[in-house]
Amino acid sequence: MIRRGRRLVVIAWLVVLALGIAAPFYFSDYDLFDMTRLLTIAIAVAGLNLLMGHSGQVSVGHGAIFGVGGYTALIAVGTLGWPWWLGLGLAMVVCLVLGVGLGFAALKMGGANLGLLTIAVAAIFPLVLIRAKPLTGGNTGIYASSPLRAPEWIGLTTAQLEFLIVLASLVVVLLGLRNLTTGRYGRALAAIRTSPLLAVSAGIPVNRLKLTTFSISSVVAGIGGAYFAYILALAVPDSYLVTFSIALLSASVVGGVRSWAGALIGAAIIVYLPTLAESVVGGQAAGNWSQLVYALGLALCLIFAPNGLAGAVTAIGRRLSRRRAARPETTTPTQE
């Protein structure tokens, strides 16, 4: 029965992938823009899931790291004239360095204070961006015209090409993260998040693994940020305020902090709930009312799906399949 469950999951993912590949040919470029944006954010949320769901650390600053990735990529393409994939690589390197630095600082400050450190970084990041005008263009930011522009021979619009490239990257990232967490590394992480004391006594290098995980999640966030900046063709400080980091955190929790599908669900909420809220409320005072609807939606998700929406969906699925299976024998559980 377990094997059947696994097969269903794989089939579900393949269906989603197929739909994804078909999407650019069905939706308008305008709609595709939002969907590509969703995918870039999903990449970042997946990185955050690795950090929070698997290693048990909290980051309220991944928005800033995302922003570092975006700015680096656009500086490479816009100011230095590099091709997009080289800019992406540079963004990954810079975010790796940043991640190692932050992770190391956090360890020195007592692991429990990572949250505060990251929120400080998230708060200070836009301020630094504005100050560093020569590099970052200050308040007006950096503009680089469509780095992922589609060449003539490919027969796709730029929007379609962007979507497919980001989709492919998301698949690669998710597969990579999944393989990472289902091997020995993943089990070590599970030990760390359940009981750091036990993990240490089992010979697991807790601090090193925590640092590694933070660094990897930084790189992943940087990838998402680079693509985000590419499709917007713009990087401005206002996109990367503390609120964005908080939104990423919420997306991770609401989707399911240990679920890869949850990363997509969480990203969808970030991208679509505000617009949904605005359409529900409509009109003049939209801003505050839509924030209220967003907050309500968030709270309801947390209350009714404490393990994340992805978890809720699988729970329902499991309950449905159990009803169809034979009645299990009552067994005595082992105590303690």
Please select the residue that binds another protein; options are 108, 149, 187, 208, rule is CB under 8 A: 108
Residues 305 and 259: beta-carbon distance below 8 Å: no
Q: Which range binds another protein by CB under 8 A, 167-175, 203-211, 231-239, 294-302?
A: 294-302
Helices and strands in the chain: count of H runs, count of E runs = 15, 2
Q: How far is the CB of 124 from another protein (least distance, A)?
A: 6
Candidates 276, 271, 262; CA nearest to 232 is 271
Q: Decide: is 331 part of the binding site for another protein (CB under 8 A).
A: yes
Residues 65 and 242: beta-carbon distance below 8 Å: no
CB-wise, 32 or 44, nearer to another protein?
A: 44
Q: Decide: is 288 part of the binding site for another protein (CB under 8 A).
A: yes
Chain positions 51 to 80 lying near another protein, rule: CB under 8 A, are 52, 58
Alpha-carbon gap, residue 216 to 47, rounded angstroms: 7
CB-wise, 231 or 310, nearer to another protein?
A: 310
Residue ranges with strand state E in the chain:
142-143, 234-235
Please select the residue that binds another protein; options are 97, 120, 190, 312, rule is CB under 8 A: 120
Alpha-carbon gap, residue 205 to 176, rounded angstroms: 22
Chain positions 239 to 258 lying near another protein, rule: CB under 8 A, are 242, 246, 249-250, 252-254, 257
Per-residue binder mask for another protein (CB under 8 A), 124-163, x = binder: x--xx--x--------------------------------
Give the ranges where 282-332 is alpha helix by DSSP (H): 286-304, 309-324
Alpha-carbon gap, residue 181 to 57, rounded angstroms: 15
Using CB under 8 A as the binding criterion, the count of chain residues that bind another protein stands at 49
CB-wise, 58 or 159, nearer to another protein?
A: 58
Q: Decide: is 335 part of the binding site for another protein (CB under 8 A).
A: yes
Whole-angstrom CA distances from 72 to 9, 78, 101, 125, 127 are: 37, 10, 17, 14, 17
Q: Decide: is 268 part of the binding site for another protein (CB under 8 A).
A: no
CB-wise, 37 or 258, nearer to another protein?
A: 258
State the Cα torsion 108-111-112-116 to the nearest 10°: 60
Please select the residue that binds another protein; options are 21, 123, 180, 209, rule is CB under 8 A: 123
Q: Decide: is 318 part of the binding site for another protein (CB under 8 A).
A: no
